[in-house]
């Protein structure tokens, strides 16, 4: 949304991260949450925060300038497959047939919901695919005991702070406008920081610790579904039959994912 008013991808990502860091800093001070890190934790948050979440946001935002947002989203959401593979190889997680089926069904639904028309620029495709890899790195890194031992708000503060610096440098080098000059841009940036970064990071980090990397990544495929519903409700966007079928498939994929948990809870 911010790109409509402020076509500077680096600075959009910078403001999202720095505003998120300020919100988290205020929260930690008000509720007395410790910001202390060991040397190992500092290095891990710096490395996986910048190269994981920070780079994901940057690459995905940049891909929107080359290909349609729908195609970028479809390519980005290949990350559950990447995470599931690495979760098996690195953390010995079991990948069941139901998880594989859920990924296939939900991914098919995302394709149906997304507008993948428009010119296909290789650079945009590569950027979107790379965002799926970097996001996989971030999700898997949260499984590490050094990071999982930290309060979620502490992780988000440092991830946001560290991630803001490289994109600021990139924006300065590319001579992007450093300060937005209209209120619509600031509203979009603040909303993006609160909803897409602070809230989203809190939820995804907590979910990874509770559910594991692969299960969380599959359930996170509901994100495009929520985006479509929000567009219909708040922006009066139209919904085609194909989109409706896609939404049903995404919900089916999520249901298949959580069904084993429901069965386990219901069994005596």
Name the pLDDT band for 176 (thresholds 50, 70, 90).
Answer: confident
Residue-wise pLDDT tens digits, 197-223: 888 888 888 888 888 777 788 777 777
Contacts of 59 by beta carbon, 8 Å cutoff, 6+ apart = 127, 128, 130, 131, 134
Name the pLDDT band for 265 (thresholds 50, 70, 90).
Answer: very low
What pLDDT sits at residue 7? 66
Task: Give which of 114, 113, 105, 132 is closest to 251, Cα–Cα.
Answer: 105
Domain that holds residue 25: 2-266
> How many domains are there within the chain?
1
What pLDDT sits at residue 118? 62
Residue-wise pLDDT tens digits, 132-158: 999 888 888 877 778 888 998 999 999
């Amino acid at each position: 949304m911010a790109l409509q008013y402020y076509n500077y991808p680096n600075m959009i990502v910078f403001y999202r991260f720095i505003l998120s860091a300020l919100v988290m800093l205020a929260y930690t001070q008000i509720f007395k949450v410790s910001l202390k890190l060991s040397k190992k934790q500092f290095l891990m948050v710096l490395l996986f925060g910048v190269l994981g979440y920070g780079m994901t946001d940057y690459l995905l935002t940049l891909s929107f300038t080359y290909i349609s947002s729908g195609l970028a989203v479809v390519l980005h959401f290949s990350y559950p497959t990447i995470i599931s593979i690495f979760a098996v190889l690195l953390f010995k997680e079991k990948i069941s047939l139901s998880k594989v089926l859920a990924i296939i069904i939900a991914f098919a639904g995302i394709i149906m919901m997304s507008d993948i028309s428009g010119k296909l620029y290789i650079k945009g495709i590569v950027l979107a695919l790379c965002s799926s890899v970097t996001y996989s790195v971030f999700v898997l890194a949260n499984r590490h005991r050094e990071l999982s031992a930290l309060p979620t708000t502490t992780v988000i503060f440092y991830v946001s702070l560290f991630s803001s610096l490289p994109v600021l440098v990139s924006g300065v080098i590319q001579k992007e406008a450093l300060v937005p000059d209209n209120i619509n841009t600031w509203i979009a940036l603040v909303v993006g920081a609160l909803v897409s970064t602070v809230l989203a990071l809190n939820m995804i980090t907590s979910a990874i610790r509770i559910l594991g990397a692969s299960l969380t990544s599959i359930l996170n495929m509901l994100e495009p579904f929520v985006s479509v519903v929000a567009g219909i409700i708040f922006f009066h966007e139209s919904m085609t039959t194909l989109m409706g079928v896609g939404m049903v498939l995404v919900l089916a994929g999520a249901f298949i994912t959580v069904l084993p948990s429901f069965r386990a809870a219901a069994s005596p």
